[in-house]
Amino acid sequence: MKKHALLGYGVLLLVACALPFLVSEYRSFQFTLVLVYSIALLGLNILTGYNGQISLGHGAFYAIGAYCAAILMDKAGFPYWATIPLAGAVCLVAGFLFGLPALRLEGLYLALATFALGVSLPQLLKYHHLEEWTGGVQGIVITKPDAPEFLAALGLTLNQDQWLYFFTLGVAVVMFVLGWNLLRGRLGRAMMAIRDNHVAAEAMGVNNAMVKSLTFGVSAMFTGVSGALGAIAIQFVAPDSFNIFLSLTFLIGIVIGGLASIPGALYGALFIQFVPNIADEVSKAAPWAIFGLFLIGFTYLMPMGIAGAIRLGLARLTRKGHNSQPGKP
């Protein structure tokens, strides 16, 4: 990583840390959701942006993660932080297993298979033999965590929303570093090779089916972690929370944010969190029409997503810098 990029991320992190002290509790809560969504979007982006597989059912993995956290906290008395890695592990396995047969399907057929997963899961959650754990349509109410006591001992008093924000921020940073590491490594290169030309990748010795299933698993894991965090932030899970629209929202998020871009996940999360609210403020009668206008506007003005537009803008700026100093490379 270049020095100025590192500096950029440092400043971003600093701003992120200062945020909950500058805005209201309600806004902190909204930014917590942005962080939650950004992890899910990163997960989907690994699958769609980097590996070229379309999923219309990632809401299902988000739901599995959320229910893992809720059931572990509600029935087994787990502390909230311990549910995050477990939710991730469950989704990793679930994603991998779903990936094995589904990935024989290409392109649009895979999209349909995942769509089926997305539409069926909310109904499965209502299934009466599972009700003992899932709570059926009633869902599960969970308690919001307090800031740990050692922070108060250090003289740092945080309210619940601020603490949850920092907790989510911490998990998000870990997940983003993990994702970044994964994508620039061997597996990441294999993923991209499959996306760009799967025959060539196979010829190079990449085990296509294995890498694709693994990618599906990793992608589901990110989304599951995000779902668990989302459940803790919302304090409630119910089948109605995870309808097919959630899956579509994730897809919108990665396309608007920028395909195959790590910061794109964050931009996309900001979009899916705030733009529907703005649309609702603009028009009560037809909020989704306004949302559609935003969507068309963004895709038209920024064909490579917000991340692509920023990259282009930065490139133009630096080129200008170079031009003003002729003679230097």
Partner 1 sequence: MKRVLVPIAALLAAALASPAALAQKKYDQGASDKEILIGHINPYSGPASAYGTIGRAIAAYFKKVNEEGGVNGRQINMISYDDGYSPPKTVEMARKLVEQDKVLLIFQPLGTPPNSAIHKYMNAKKVPQLFVATGATKWNDAKRFPWTMGWQPNYQTEAKIYAQQILKDKPNAKIAVLYQNDDYGKDYLEGFKAGLGAKAKTMIVKEASYEVSDPTVDSQMAQLQASGADTFFNITTPKFAAQAIRKAWDSGWKPLHYLNNVSGSIGSTLKPAGLDKSVGLITTQYIKDQNDKAWANDPDVVAWTAFMKKYYPEGNLAATENYYGWCVAQSLVQVLKQSGNDLTRANVMKQAASLKNFAPNCLLPGIKINTSATDFAPIESVQLARFNGTEWVRFGEIMGK
Residues that bind partner 1 (CB under 8 A): 24-26, 29-30, 33, 123, 126, 128, 136-139, 141, 143, 230, 234-241, 243, 245, 280, 284, 287-288
Which position has the token pair 């589904």?
A: 102
Q: Which is nearer to partner 1, 194 or 246 (CB)?
A: 246
Q: What is the smallest separation between the CB atom of 136 and partner 1, expressed in angstroms?
A: 6
Q: What is the smallest separation between the CB atom of 7 and partner 1, expressed in angstroms?
A: 34
Quote the longest CA-to-CA distance of the chain. 74
Q: What is the smallest separation between the CB atom of 187 and partner 1, expressed in angstroms?
A: 32
Q: Which is nearer to partner 1, 46 or 71 (CB)?
A: 71
Contacts of 272 (CB under 8 A, 6+ apart): 37, 41, 249, 250, 252, 253, 256
Q: Which is nearer to partner 1, 109 or 288 (CB)?
A: 288
Q: What is the smallest separation between the CB atom of 160 and partner 1, expressed in angstroms?
A: 9
Task: Report the C-alpha gap between 49 and 325 in whole angstroms.
Answer: 37
Joined tokens for residue 215: 């990618």
Q: Which is nearer to partner 1, 162 or 241 (CB)?
A: 241
- Give DSSP secondary structure letters for 191-223: HHHHHH-HHHHHHTT--HHHHHHHHHHHHHHHH
Q: What is the smallest separation between the CB atom of 123 and partner 1, expressed in angstroms?
A: 6
Q: Which is nearer to partner 1, 126 or 189 (CB)?
A: 126
Q: What is the smallest separation between the CB atom of 165 and partner 1, expressed in angstroms?
A: 14
Q: Which is nearer to partner 1, 36 or 190 (CB)?
A: 36
**236 three-class SS:** strand
Task: Report the C-alpha gap between 74 and 83 in whole angstroms.
Answer: 11
Task: Report the C-alpha gap between 108 and 53 in whole angstroms.
Answer: 9
Residue 236's alpha-carbon distances to 18, 72, 79, 227, 243, in angstroms, are 28, 13, 16, 11, 15
**106 three-class SS:** coil
